[in-house]
Amino acid sequence: PKHQPSISSFFMKT
């Protein structure tokens, strides 16, 4: 099974 990560885990917070 696959899980859905958050988009914010891929980009730096500014």
Partner 1 sequence: MFECRLPKAEVLKKTMDALKDLIKEAVWDVSAQGLSLQSMDSSHVSLVQVTLRTEGFDTFRCDKNIALGVNMDTMQKLMKCASNDDNITLKSEDNGDLLSLIFESPNGEKTSEYEMKLMDLDIEQLGIPDQEYSCTIKMPSGEFQRICRDLSNIGESVNITVVKGGVDFSAKGDIGNAKIHVTESSNVDNEKDAVTVEVNEPVNLTFALRYLNFFTKATPLSGQVSLSISPDVPLVVAYEIEDLGHVKYFLAPKIEN
Give the footprint of partner 1 on this chain (CB under 8 A).
1-14
> In this structure, what token pair is assigned to residue 8?
């914010």
What is the rounded distance in angstroms from the CA atom of residue 14 to the CA atom of residue 12? 6
**Closest distance of CB 9 from partner 1, Å:** 7
Cα(10)–Cα(1) distance, integer angstroms: 21
Smallest gap from Cβ 13 to partner 1, in A, equals: 6
